[in-house]
Amino acid sequence: MKILVMGSGIIGTTTAFYLARQGHQVDVIDRQPAAGMETSFANAGQISPGYSSPWAAPGIPFKALKWMFSRHSPLAISPRLEWDKIQFVTRLFGQCTAGRYHINKSRMLRLADYSQHNLAQFREENAEVIGPDSFDHQNLGTLQLFRTRKQLRAATQDMAILDQLGIPYQALDVDQCVDAEPALQTVRHKLTGGLRLPNDETGDCHAMARSLAQLCESLGVRFHYNVSIDEIEQGQSGIESVLTHEGRFSADRYVMALGSFSAPLLQSLGIDLPVYPVQGYSITLPIDDQSHAPRSTLMDETYKVALTRLGNRLRVAGMAELDGYRKILKPERRRTLRHVVADLFPQIALPQQDEFWTGLRPMTPDGTPIVGASTIDNLFINTGHGTLGWTMSFGSARLLADLISGRQPDIQHEDFSMSRYLSSQHHKPVGQKPLASARL
Ligand SMILES: Cc1cc2nc3c(=O)[nH]c(=O)nc-3n(C[C@H](O)[C@H](O)[C@H](O)COP(=O)(O)OP(=O)(O)OC[C@H]3O[C@@H](n4cnc5c(N)ncnc54)[C@H](O)[C@@H]3O)c2cc1C
C-alpha cells in the first residue's frame, strides 16, 4: 500500500519505520529541514514506562490553584480566554478522580511497556546502524525524588498500580537515594525518599529520530522536508490528497502524526481531536566533572523537573504552560530550570550560556495518546503522546502499523483509539461532503 505519514517527529519516523518494514511504500512530509526538529528535539530524554502517569490525578485542581502563586511553579495558565484551552482544562479536571487515574495510568503503562519491548527488539536488530552511543542510550533507571512526607504518601497509590501490572520498583529511603545517585550526597538533608524504576531508560530522542529517518530511507521511505501541509482534501471515500506548497500528495492511507498541530488540521475535517499544545522547556549543559552530576535520570517531584544525563551533557526539562500555540522562550522558565540544578547539584558549574529550548507537548486530557483509525476510512491517527512521546513511540508506531496492515496487534488496543472520546463530540460522517478542505 502507498502510505503518507504527516510529520517526522519521533512518532512519524517510528511509524514510517514499521510501515516500511511491513512492506508498504511510505512517504513522509515535514515542514522542517530534518526529522525530530520540533517537540522531539530537546525533551528530557526519559524512556520511562515505570514513570508513565497522567497529569490528571486526584488533588491536581487544588494543586494547580496553589501553583499559580508559586515562584518556580511547574504550571502556568495564561489568562487569555480561549475556548480550546478552557475545554482542555475542563476535560483534564474531569479525569482527576482516583478511578479515572487508575484506568488512565494502567492504559498508559500498557503502551509504554509494549513500547520498551519494541525498542529493545529494534536495538537488538539494528545495533550496527543505531548503536547506544549514537543516541546516548543508558539503562540505569529513573529516580523520582521526594522532598516532603506528603509526596512519599502520594507515591503509594502509584506503587499499588505498579504492583498490579508487575512493573518492578524500589521504594528508597534517603541513604538508598544517595546510593543510586551519589552526587546527591551534599543535598541529602533536602530529601525524604524516592521511588526508583530500575527498568527505565534514557536517550536522546532527537538523535534517534535523525538516525531512524536515515534507516527508513535505506528501506525506501521518501522524506519530503521543508514541505508544509496547508490542507487535507476529503472526498466520497475518505482523504483524497494532502495539499502543500509543493503540490498535492496522494496515497491509499494517511497517518496523522503532526503532534500538537494535528488538532487544527483534523478540526477542519470535522474531527475534534482532544489534543492541546502544552508548552515545556529545557536547558542542556555540558558536564565537566561527571562525579558531580546524576548518572541517570531524576524527577524532582517538587518542581516536576527532570534531570537526565545524556553522555557528557545534562538535560533539564519541565514546566507546563497553557498558552495555545505560542512558543516564546521565557527567561523566568530558564531561571527555574537553573534553580533546580543549583539546588540539587550545587557542585555543577552553571555556564552563562546553556542551550535553552521550548516545545509543545501534544497532550490529551487523560494522558493517553490517540492511536488507531479515525472516523474517516483511510485516515489513521498517531498523536497526543503528551509528556511521554519518546517513551511510547516504538509501541504506538508498531501498533498503528499492525492496524493499517490488518494484522492482529500484540496488545489490547481499542482504548487507545479516538473512540474513547467520540461520545462527547459530533463529527461529519464519511463522504457527507463532496470535497471538503481543511485549512490550517
Ligand atoms: C519539556 C519536554 C520534556 C519532555 N520529556 C519527555 C521525556 O523525557 N520522555 C518522553 O517520553 N517524552 C517527553 N516529552 C514529550 C515528547 O517530546 C513528545 O511527546 C514527542 O516529542 C511528540 O512527538 P511527535 O512526533 O508527536 O511531535 P513532534 O516531534 O512535534 O513532531 C511533529 C512534526 O510535525 C511537523 N509539522 C507540524 N505541522 C506541520 C505542517 N503543517 N506541515 C508539515 N509538517 C508539520 C513538525 O515539523 C514536527 O516535525 C517531553 C516534551 C517536552 C516539551
Q: Is 364 helix (H, G, I), strand (E, B) or coil?
A: coil
Domain map (residue ranges) of the chain: 2-40+207-275+369-439, 50-202+276-363
241 or 76, greater pLDDT: 241
The CATH number of 50-202+276-363 is 3.30.9.10
pLDDT per residue over 157-200, tens digit each? Answer: 878 888 887 889 999 999 999 999 999 999 999 999 999 999 99
CA-based nearest residue to 203, from 132, 142, 117, 143: 132
Q: Is the pTM of this model over 0.75?
A: yes
Same fold, 2-40+207-275+369-439 and 50-202+276-363: no
- Mutate-to-test residue for ligand 1 from 4, 5, 17, 30, highest number of ligand atoms within 8 A of CB: 30
Ligand 1 center to residue 358 CA distance, Å?
11
Cα separation of 124 and 139, whole Å?
Answer: 14
pLDDT of residue 57: 87
pLDDT of residue 349: 87
Average pLDDT, the chain: 92
- Mutate-to-test residue for ligand 1 from 232, 258, 273, highest number of ligand atoms within 8 A of CB: 258
Cα separation of 21 and 14, whole Å?
Answer: 11
Ligand 1 center to residue 49 CA distance, Å?
18
* CA angle (387, 392, 396) in 5-degree steps: 125
How does residue 430 score in pLDDT terms, banded at 50, 70 and 90? very low
Are the C-beta atoms of residues 107 and 415 closer than 8 Å to each other?
yes
What's the grid cell of residue 235?
472526498
Tell me which architecture the domain covering 2-40+207-275+369-439 has in CATH. Answer: 3-Layer(bba) Sandwich (3.50)
Beta-strand (E) ranges in 189-275? 193-197, 201-202, 222-224, 229-235, 238-244, 247-249, 253-256
- pLDDT at 19 exceeding the cut of 70: yes
Residues with CB under 6 A from ligand 1: 7-12, 29-32, 37-40, 43-46, 228-229, 257-259, 261, 280-282, 306, 317, 359, 361-362, 383, 385-391, 440
Ligand 1 center to residue 359 CA distance, Å?
7
Burial of 268: CB neighbours in 10 Å, binned 0-12, 13-18, 19+ = middle
pLDDT of residue 440: 30
The residue to which cell 515505570 is assigned: 50
Backbone angles phi, psi at 264, to 5 degrees: -65, -35
